[in-house]
A and B are shown apart, each in its own frame.
Chain A
Amino acid sequence: MSDEVIQREEFGDVAVLHITTNSVDAISAAAIEANATATAMRPITVLDFANVAFINSAGISALLKFVVSARKAGHKLFAMNVSPHHQKIFKMVEMSRFMPTIEERDLAAYR
């Protein structure tokens, strides 16, 4: 597994964190949550799940670190390119309340 599990893109007030691992699980969790820092985030921070094929509860715990960091910094956190299955899981555990899903086209205005 590559050490770089997140590639960061920034424009204006937006940071897009592209998750590059396809499995957000107990193995990748530590490397993912290490990126949940105030310096990695912007007032609008977006986690991009385009490459993610699998998420389990250990992965959800890692993603919640981004929720905590964003809230502490007063930033907004969104998810994009979330598969229908993962949208279902996020809804089941009410993750979507804290990290709503947006469409990639919604970011166009910020570019």
Chain B
Amino acid sequence: MERVLVNIPSNPIFERVVRASADEVGQAIGLARERIEDLKLAVSEAVNNAIEHGNRREVAKVVEVVFALDAEKLEVRIRDEGGGVERVDFSRRVVEEQNLESGMHRGFGMYLISALVDDCEVSSSRQGTTLTLRLYRKDGANER
């Protein structure tokens, strides 16, 4: 197994660093461009979630991202140092009339993650939350 580790402080500007890393890793393993774009968006949402809701933007707290690759899949683990969560809602969220009027324009992130990767899971404790995303390689071959 090969691993790439990226640790960032809980400042949203550094989400772009993780996103750029996702792009490079995706290219390095030969994912198709559309799958790389899906990966970047899913990782972006997960990292922003870890910064905002996990570490509550406390810059001293780290978001740890591990890209782990084997012959079967790319696994991305995003871990925060927050107090944990009871549950995570991956249900479908869309723009709705009533939300427009109320100004509630957030909440698409977890739905997008679940829709864009092959599978995802959450483990959480009082020491933090880890979101694991997986993209399976098609026959372990280059997808381009």
Contact = CB atoms under 8 A, between A and B. Distances in A.
A57 B109 contact: yes
Given A56-B41, A98-B100, A26 B95 contact: no
Bin the interface of chain A by size. Answer: 20 to 34
A60 B99 CA distance: 13
Contacts of B41: 54-56, 89
28 contacts: A23-B16, A25-B44, A26-B12, A27-B12, A54-B19, A54-B41, A54-B44, A56-B45, A56-B48, A56-B109, A57-B45, A57-B48, A57-B106, A57-B108, A57-B112, A64-B95, A67-B95, A68-B101, A68-B103, A84-B34, A85-B34, A85-B37, A92-B94, A92-B112, A92-B115, A93-B95, A94-B96, A98-B100
Given A57-B112, A61-B105, A93-B95, 12 more contacts: A25-B15, A27-B13, A54-B19, A54-B40, A55-B41, A56-B45, A57-B108, A58-B48, A64-B95, A64-B100, A93-B93, A93-B108
A97 B95 contact: yes
Contacts of B40: 54
A58 B13 CA distance: 13
Task: Give the secondary structure class of A's interface.
Answer: helix
Interface of A: 23, 25-27, 54-58, 60-61, 64-65, 67-68, 71, 84-85, 89, 92-95, 97-98
Contacts of A68: 100-101, 103
Nearest to B110: A57
Interface in B87-125: 93-96, 100-101, 103, 105-109, 111-112, 115
A56 B40 CA distance: 9
Contact of A64 (B13, B16, B48, B105): B105
A93 B100 contact: no
Given A25-B44, A54-B40, A68-B100, A61 B106 contact: yes
Interface in B36-52: 37-38, 40-41, 44-45, 48
A50 B101 CA distance: 29
